[in-house]
Amino acid sequence: MSCDYYETLEINRNASDADIKKAYRRLALKFHPSSNREPGSLEKFTQLGEAYDVLSDSRKKATYDKFGEEGLKGGIPAEFGTGGAWSSKYAYHRNPDKTFKQFFGGDNPFADFYTSDTPLQYGYLQPGVVKTQDSPIERDLHLSLDDLFHGCIKKIKISRRVMNDDGNTSSIKDKILTIDVRPGWKEGTRIIFSKEGDQGPNSIPADIVFIVRQKSHPLFVRRHNDLIYNAKISLEMALTGFSVDVQTLDGRLLTIPINDIVHPAYKKELSGEGMPLSQSPSQRGNLIITFDIQFPEKLSVERKHLIKQALDFKQ
């Protein structure tokens, strides 16, 4: 009977090696006869083993992709081979448990089922099964700079599969997860909700992990605990002095006098006016003001002469 290995593993033909491994792991655990006693589970488990055995091997996969199952199991036609037909025709060993053990190695989630004198019997769930936890489910949590400055509460609705009271069937239910965003949290902060993923009879629900992603801000750029504000000024202001007005994230208006001559690398730093420190919100980083000096595009001869006179310090 002809079969489509990609369809068996529920992946497309552009799947990477990692995608193939992930798909086999998920489906092999789902249809393993020790935990799935539904009719046809053993045959499905065997099909998964054959599909993974072919697609995880670069040579077998390349042959299957080009010539299909017939070419894989019957040999490559002579005109396509480098030295005639491929003499080693493929045939699956029909031992999906062998494929399963080779895949999981020492981390076999069913390792406790195997002993030197008591092999695993398909279709029989032996006592002492060790449940494995699904991989964490990661989602981005996009927060504004104001959210991260003040802190806030975010409520996120998730839908997950939960086991019913009979212990055999399941249903989809919604749940609200509440995230207490603390002042000063940084990009990449991870918030973990333990075991809030889908429930199953023979698995531990996955952790749900939210990862903080900071949105851009129209005025400030964040660098660790510091805030950077860029002020555009004229050349005249850079040479003669001025003041900068900065509206802070907590609603104050700072007026900062600049009496120094502002050169391209000049910065003004205000201590304690940056982001709160997540471990100690009463302390804050710094506000760093940088300057973008706007030079005139053209100068008349008269203006050039006046500037030369003004900058001639020898007079």
Domain containing residue 60: 5-130
Q: Is residue 315 part of a domain?
A: no
My answer on whether 23 and 122 are in the same domain is yes
Of 170, 140, 175, 172, nearest in space to 158 by CA: 175
My answer on whether 9 and 126 are in the same domain is yes
pLDDT of residue 124: 38
| Residue at a domain's end among 169, 199, 214 | 214
pLDDT of residue 59: 85
My answer on whether 190 and 263 are in the same domain is no
Cα–Cα dist 159/285, whole Å: 39
The β-bridge relationship of strands 226-234 and 170-181 is unpaired
My answer on whether 111 and 34 are in the same domain is yes
My answer on whether 112 and 179 are in the same domain is no
Please report, for the domain that includes residue 235, its CATH number: 2.60.260.20
Judge contact between 314 and 254, C-beta under 8 A.
Answer: no
- Amino acid at site 19: D
My answer on whether 195 and 231 are in the same domain is no
User: Around 212, how many Cα atoms within 13 Å sit in the side-chain half-sphere?
Assistant: 22
Report how many domains make up the chain. Answer: 3
My answer on whether 175 and 155 are in the same domain is yes
pLDDT of residue 121: 38
Please name the residue that has the structure tokens 């509460």.
153
Q: Is residue 189 part of a domain?
A: yes
Q: Is residue 253 part of a domain?
A: yes
Q: Is residue 271 part of a domain?
A: yes
Model pTM? Answer: 0.54
Burial of 53 (C-beta count, 10 Å sphere; 0-12/13-18/19+): buried
Find the helix or strand (DSSP H, E) in which 48 lies: helix 41-55
CA 312 to chain centre: 60
CA terminus-to-terminus distance, the chain: 100
pLDDT of residue 105: 63
Question: At 78, is the secondary structure helix, strand, or coil?
Answer: helix
pLDDT of residue 129: 54
Q: Render each residue's pLDDT in the chain as its tens digit; 315 residues.
A: 567 999 999 999 999 988 999 999 889 888 888 777 788 888 899 999 999 999 998 888 888 888 888 888 877 654 444 444 444 688 888 888 888 888 776 444 544 343 333 333 333 344 445 677 878 888 999 999 999 999 999 999 988 888 887 777 778 888 899 999 999 999 999 999 998 888 877 778 889 999 999 999 999 999 999 999 999 998 889 988 899 999 999 999 999 999 999 998 999 999 999 999 988 888 999 999 999 998 888 888 888 888 787 777 655
Q: Is residue 56 part of a domain?
A: yes
